[in-house]
Amino acid sequence: MGRKNALTLRRTRKLALTEGIMAGMLFGTASILIRFLEEIDTFSIAFWRLIIASVTLVIILAVLGENLRFSSITRNLKDLTILGTFLGLHFIFFVSAVKDTTILNATVLVNTAPIFSMLISSFLFKVKPSRLALVGLIISFTGACTIAYAETSPSGFSSNIRGDLEAVLAAVVEGFYLNFGRKTRSNMPILSAMLPIYVIAALIVGVISIPTGHTLAVTLKTELLVPLILLGFLPTAMAHTLYFSSLSNLKSFETATMALLEPIGATILGIIIFQEIPQAIFVFGAFLVLLGIFFVAKEE
């Protein structure tokens, strides 16, 4: 009986790791797609990617023939509202960072989320990482920094402090989002949790945009509409849903560590779309990221 339960736990953890890894790779599409949306302001991008993600989940529910668990949503409405607020703020800060600093700076700094997540998890939720998980996190983060170094221009990192600060704030908010999300994920089916989170996040973005004077207009230009729809589908509806789902059997900082795959995914897309060939040191950095994730995966 004990052996059977252990195998079940390992299979479940393996599924959660698979979800986290898939999410991390899909996150790499975000900065690439935002690059095509320079004409659209931060709030409109954040708002419409959330609306598109919400519509996507409604379609998935319809195709699967599943119903929203309204009773579960009602019971967890307070937590869902908190999570939606965190996610809305995360999108505002991240999209702003991509616009106000280099894509490289924004991607690397937002990937400090595992560190903030681990600190929040340790001090607020008393969930301590094992030594192996801690080593894995450090190795993966070192790999992300190596990738950043490999892609830095001769003039060095951007000195745009505002954009860099926005990226760090996006990482801090993500840390809170993941830590608060573990309980909700254990209490609710993933689609019934994520749909209200996306809707609430969109409402938060809309409310915050009012004092700034933004109209949240949507473009009908094909060259802008296509990447906007893809932004709502790939790194949002797919990646963020898988990301949150992995919290079922991963600690918050373990899930956050999976997101360190983002620069690898972005670079692969850069090769395919922009023919941007990375330096050899990038391969070493990518190896460190994957090695660190292996240690985190072996934490149990």
In a domain, 2, yes or no: no
Q: What is the pLDDT of residue 172?
A: 93
In a domain, 225, yes or no: yes
In a domain, 10, yes or no: no
Give the integer Cα–Cα distance in Å for 7 and 223. Answer: 49
Q: Which domain holds residue 242?
A: 16-297
In a domain, 6, yes or no: no
In a domain, 11, yes or no: no
| Predicted confidence (pLDDT) per residue in 178-204, tens digit | 999 999 998 999 999 999 999 999 999
- pLDDT tier at 43, thresholds 50, 70, 90: very high
In a domain, 4, yes or no: no
Q: Among 127, 91, 134, 137, which Cα is nearest to 110's?
A: 91
Q: What is the pLDDT of residue 153?
A: 52
In a domain, 31, yes or no: yes
The residue that leads in pLDDT, 31 or 239, is 239
Give the integer Cα–Cα distance in Å for 201 and 51. Answer: 9
| Predicted confidence (pLDDT) per residue in 47-106, tens digit | 999 999 999 999 999 999 988 999 999 999 999 999 999 999 999 999 998 888 777 677
pLDDT at position 107 over 90: no
| Predicted confidence (pLDDT) per residue in 252-275, tens digit | 888 988 887 887 787 777 778 767
In a domain, 5, yes or no: no
Query: Which of 37-51, 203-217, 259-273 has the lowest average pLDDT?
Result: 259-273
Sequential DSSP letters for the chain:
-HHHHHHHHHHHHHHHHHHHHHHHHHHHHHHHHHHTTTTS-HHHHHHHHHHHHHHHHHHHHHHHT----HHHHHHTHHHHHHHHHHHHHHHHHHHHHHHHS-HHHHHHHHTTHHHHHHHHHHHHS--PPPHHHHHHHHHHHHHHHHHHHHH--TT-S---HHHHHHHHHHHHHHHHHHHHHHHHHHHS-HHHHHHHHHHHHHHHHHHHHGGGT--------HHHHHHHHHHIIIIIIIHHHHHHHGGGTS-HHHHHHHGGGHHHHHHHHHHHHH--PPPHHHHHHHHHHHHHHHHHHTT-
Number of domains the chain contains: 1
Please state the rounded mean pLDDT for residues 142-160: 64
